[in-house]
């Protein structure tokens, strides 16, 4: 027997309709650089999205065909999110920080026929255009007076094009399982792999992330979206903010600590989201602001953090400087991305500050609609005891089931997707990521967590950034090397750091050597790029490696 409920498909066009109809005067603010702040409302965003939808039809793009963006977070990118996808066409958001060859690969692999690009990325567009013969037009996201002086096939001006389109459009009632958008994994090894989100998975993800025990996004929030919209749909915030009718603040290219501080202050943001390095830049800037002024300026209560582990110092300083709570989340491109979120339970209200910060360092608990578990090498599920480390697998309503036009690796017959992360789960289901499978250090048959070592090193006040890699050791097979960047103007020795770390980790885990560098390599998504670091140190010999002397 079927239920007797209406089979209304879950479509993202309903989100912008809801925002415009019931939160029509709620603001969307974009920082276009050089002091140019653009303001309009959800109601205006809907009108312009409808103009985009008409433009997409006039370009001859039909449902299922791909259109790409090379763009930062601005209102125009938001209009493409709704205007392109609302027609049934599929938006491929490309990370402009990738190598040009990878950008070209993504445009070709996704068979994108039109590319909307920010003027600041004209150079990249020019570089890749000859490699992308299927792209019919490059559309610059600007006014006619700002058109770049470049030679690109079908070069056109976004504002001129949409000015010629009507803002009357009826969104088609698509099948909710239709493709919505496509994001690519970073491709630190091999070519990037395409993940294709559906309308249904995106609406369910948005609904879940609005929940009180998730990001708790509401109509009273003002959200600074620092996570790029080319990166896993900006953690779904462009969708969840429309669903909730929240104010949305889009920083464009203005991502320095000073700019982020100014936007949080000027737009009275209550929530923001970013990777830990974003919070570090903000804190670096804010440490020079008078403490009382800081508290008056910043009303942010939640700093959503994910993409890599948040160091203890960042959690503590966000609270100390602004009274903000760092809420850690875990996910990946393949999972839309949010799967786990760290929100305390009732029983945690009695924790000491130190214990509570310890809890905040965990990656959180799974959202309903998703499942996570850790498994041993033979595929047996492991105990949820907070200690036993295994390979993390995930499945759920917004977890991908295949890559786009790619061999079917990563999934087992029960639908579990292998994340490539090593983790523990405790009895309450709190997840702790201990490593990437490929980064874990195997020393004398035991495993050492590089993330725990990095976290211990970062808790020393003189360390700005730390990476731990496992390198060959003739006796132990592998041993940890700590590569660290000192805080500006601070002096510290390797021995000081090791003495400090000794208080946080088992003695046999301590790195055999510490090397100080000026900077560490990062991936296009701002994470430590350990593949490059291992290459940089491939000839390194440990001082403890007598066999190699
Ligand atoms: P995202 O785009 O959300 O950063 P990626 O697919 O680029 O996703 O990377 C996902 C990986 O980032 C995860 O498999 C995990 O290794 C790491 N990661 C994400 N969130 C956390 C977290 N809170 N703590 C530790 N590692 C994390």
pLDDT for residue 350: 96
The dotted CATH code for 441-548 is 3.30.300.30
C-alpha to C-alpha distance for 463 and 454, rounded to whole angstroms: 10
Catalytic annotation on 442? Answer: yes
C-alpha to C-alpha distance for 334 and 419, rounded to whole angstroms: 9
Provide the 10 A C-beta neighbour count for residue 529: 19
| 23-254 and 441-548 in the same fold | no
Catalytic annotation on 334? Answer: yes
Find the 306 Cα to ligand 1 centroid distance in Å: 6
Find the 511 Cα to ligand 1 centroid distance in Å: 24
Of the CA atoms within 13 Å of residue 124, those in its CB half-sphere come to 23
Candidate CATH numbers 2.60.120.650, 3.40.50.12780, 3.30.420.10, 3.40.50.1820; the one for domain 23-254? 3.40.50.12780
Find the 405 Cα to ligand 1 centroid distance in Å: 23
The residue from 27, 277, 371, 447 that is catalytic is 447
User: And the tokens for 353?
Assistant: 């500050």
Helix then strand then coil, in percent of the chain rounded to 5, is 35, 25, 45
Find the 527 Cα to ligand 1 centroid distance in Å: 9
pLDDT for residue 549: 52
Tell me which of 93, 192, 306 to substitute to probe ligand 1's pocket, judged by most ligand atoms within 8 Å of the beta carbon. 306
Which residue positions in the chain have pLDDT lower than 50? Answer: none
Q: Give per-residue burial for 481-496: e unless 16+ CB within 10 Å, then b.
A: bbbbebeeeeebeeee
Catalytic annotation on 478? Answer: no
pLDDT for residue 25: 98
User: pTM of the prediction?
Assistant: 0.94
C-alpha to C-alpha distance for 120 and 498, rounded to whole angstroms: 44
Phi-psi region of 386 (alpha: psi -120 to 50; beta: other; left: phi over 0): left
pLDDT for residue 309: 92
Long-range Cβ pairs for the range 292-295 (8 Å, 24+): 294/321, 294/322, 295/322, 295/323
C-alpha to C-alpha distance for 401 and 296, rounded to whole angstroms: 47
- DSSP helix/strand/coil, 483: strand
The residue from 17, 79, 334, 454 that is catalytic is 334
Domain boundaries of the chain, sorted by first residue: 23-254, 441-548
Which atom of ligand 1 is found nearest the CA of 332?
8
pLDDT for residue 409: 80
Helix (H) or strand (E) holding 199: helix 199-210
C-alpha to C-alpha distance for 64 and 90, rounded to whole angstroms: 6
pLDDT for residue 34: 92
| Greatest alpha-carbon span in the chain | 77
Which atom of ligand 1 is found nearest the CA of 363?
23
Catalytic annotation on 416? Answer: no
């Amino acid at each position: 027997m079927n239920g007797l409920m209406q089979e209304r498909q879950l479509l993202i066009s309903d989100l912008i309709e809801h925002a415009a109809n019931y939160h029509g005067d709620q603001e969307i603010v974009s920082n276009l650089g050089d002091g140019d702040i653009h303001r309009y409302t959800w109601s205006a965003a809907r009108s312009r999205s409808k103009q985009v939808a008409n433009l997409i039809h006039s370009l001859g793009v039909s449902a299922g065909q791909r259109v790409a963006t090379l763009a930062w977070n601005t209102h125009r990118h938001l209009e493409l999110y709704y205007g392109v996808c609302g027609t049934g066409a599929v938006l491929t958001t490309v990370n402009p920080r990738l190598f040009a060859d990878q950008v070209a690969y993504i445009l070709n692999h996704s068979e994108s026929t039109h590319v909307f690009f920010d003027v600041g990325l004209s150079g990249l567009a020019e570089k890749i255009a000859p490699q992308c013969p299927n792209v019919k037009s490059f559309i610059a996201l600007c006014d006619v007076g700002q058109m770049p002086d470049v030679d690109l096939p079908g070069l056109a001006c976004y504002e001129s094009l949409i000015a010629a389109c009507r803002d009357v459009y009826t969104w088609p009632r698509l099948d909710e399982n239709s493709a919505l958008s496509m994001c690519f994994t970073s491709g630190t090894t091999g070519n990037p792999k395409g993940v294709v989100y559906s309308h249904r998975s995106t609406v369910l993800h948005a609904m879940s992330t609005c929940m009180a025990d998730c990001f708790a996004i509401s109509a009273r929030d003002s959200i600074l979206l620092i996570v790029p919209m080319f990166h896993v749909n900006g953690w779904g915030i462009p969708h969840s903010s429309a669903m909730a009718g929240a104010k949305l603040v889009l920083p464009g290219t203005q991502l320095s600590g000073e700019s982020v501080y100014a936007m949080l202050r000027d737009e009275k943001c209550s929530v923001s989201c970013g990777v830990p390095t974003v919070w570090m830049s903000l804190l670096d800037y804010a440490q020079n602001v008078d403490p009382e002024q800081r508290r008056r300026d910043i009303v942010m209560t939640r700093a959503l953090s994910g993409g890599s582990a948040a160091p203890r110092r960042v959690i503590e300083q966000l609270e100390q400087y602004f009274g903000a709570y760092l809420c850690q989340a875990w996910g990946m491109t393949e999972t839309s991305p949010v799967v786990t979120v760290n929100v305390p339970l009732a029983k945690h209200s009695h924790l000491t500050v130190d214990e509570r910060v310890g809890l905040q360092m965990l990656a959180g608990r799974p959202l309903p609609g998703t499942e996570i578990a850790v498994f041993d090498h033979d595929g047996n599920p492991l105990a949820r005891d907070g200690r036993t480390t295994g390979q993390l697998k995930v499945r759920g309503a917004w977890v991908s089931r295949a890559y786009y036009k790619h061999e079917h690796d990563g999934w087992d017959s029960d639908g579990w997707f292998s994340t490539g992360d090593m983790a523990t789960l405790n009895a309450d289901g709190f997840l702790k990521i201990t490593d990437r499978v490929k980064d874990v250090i195997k020393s004398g048959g035991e495993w050492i967590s590089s993330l725990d070592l990095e976290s211990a090193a970062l808790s020393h006040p003189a360390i700005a950034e730390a990476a731990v890699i496992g390198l060959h050791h003739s006796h132990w097979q592998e041993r940890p090397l700590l590569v660290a960047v000192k805080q500006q103007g601070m002096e510290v020795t390797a021995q000081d750091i090791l003495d400090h770390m000794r208080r946080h980790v088992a003695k046999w885990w301590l790195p055999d050597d510490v090397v100080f560098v000026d900077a560490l390599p990062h991936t296009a998504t701002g994470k430590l790029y350990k593949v490059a670091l291992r290459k940089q140190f491939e000839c390194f010999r440990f001082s403890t490696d007598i066999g190699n002397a």
